Amino acid sequence: MIQQTDFFFEGGRSGVLLIHGLTGTPMEMRLLGKGLNKAGFTVHGMQLAGHCGDANDLLATGWRDWYASVEAAADTMLTKVDHLFVGGLSMGALLALKLAADRPQQIAGVGVYGATFRYDGWSIPRMARLSFLLPLLKKVGIGRGRSFMEQPPYGIRDERLRAQVSTAMLSGDSAAAGLPGNPWYSLAEMYGLAADVRRQLPQVSSPCLVAHASEDDVASVKNAELVMREVNAPTELLLLDDSYHMITIDKQRRTLIERSATFFGSIAEASDAQRAAA
């Protein structure tokens, strides 16, 4: 059964919509959300459709359902703030970029955290690196009950935190730590989303803070370089050298919070100044 785990922190008239990753949970965005709220932002850590339940709950949805839940959350946020920023981790970064591409007049800036177009990090087994073939397998009906199980270090460099997260995940507490594996069909959906977003990158005109672990175990820095190269927007690159994939909770999360708050805040201030001068 799906549990509701999203969060909302009331703040000022600049808001940030935070989007977690595939098989993940809003909990992976909560520390970032608290930090941004402390800096004055209104923050909503949304929950993607089909997530925070079991594998069957997730398999009942696809990427269009996940994106529809992002759009609904953005619509709600737009009634509460003057400037809307969106930030996403891993697959959530792709959904954030798609929202910016589709709604250039509504999205003031994007936090692209550990963007994952392909699972090509150093900890990904060779077999799993062929997961881009999964859309074909799904099309012919092969492998619906199969999953790629998460492997150590689970995207986390901080060993104590890794132990806590892996214990929760392997115990079946998907609301706290997400699912322990990625269902093949859900990964196939993720690759469908990735292909769609990659085509849309030139339509992204909102400024982007592209943050990535330099030693990302799940998605190599090539994913960040793709965003930097293809978007039609000002970009700022933040490489984190003491974190793995889950940069929103890992060792350098405070650096990510500070840079995100500064990046979003400067955009909002410039917009307000321009509006006042008009």
Measuring CA to CA, how many Å separate 59 from each of 91, 146, 193, 215?
16, 11, 15, 31
- pLDDT tier at 1, thresholds 50, 70, 90: confident
- pLDDT tier at 76, thresholds 50, 70, 90: very high
Q: Indicate which CATH number applies to the domain containing 174.
A: 3.40.50.1820
- pLDDT tier at 237, thresholds 50, 70, 90: very high
Residue 233 lies in a domain: yes
Query: What tokens were used for 196?
Result: 């769609």
Which pLDDT value is given to residue 212?
98
Query: Domain limits at 227?
Result: 7-277
Render pLDDT for 113-140 as a digit per residue (tens, 0 to 9).
Answer: 999 999 999 988 766 656 667 766 667 6
Mean pLDDT of 196-224: 98
- pLDDT tier at 156, thresholds 50, 70, 90: very high
Residue 267 lies in a domain: yes
Counting beta carbons within 10 angstroms of the beta carbon of residue 10, is it exposed (0 to 12), middle (13 to 18) or buried (19 or more)? exposed
Render pLDDT for 43-66 as a digit per residue (tens, 0 to 9).
Answer: 999 999 999 998 999 999 999 999
Query: What tokens were used for 203?
Result: 């339509």
Residue 2 lies in a domain: no
Measuring CA to CA, how many Å separate 204 from each of 89, 105, 178?
17, 11, 29
Sheet holding 107-113, edge to edge: 7-9, 42-45, 14-19, 83-89, 107-113, 208-213, 235-240
Q: How many domains does the chain fold into?
A: 1
Higher pLDDT, 147 or 231: 231
Mean pLDDT of 15-26: 97
CB neighbourhood size of 166 (10 A): 17
Q: What is the pTM of this model?
A: 0.94
Which pLDDT value is given to residue 129?
59
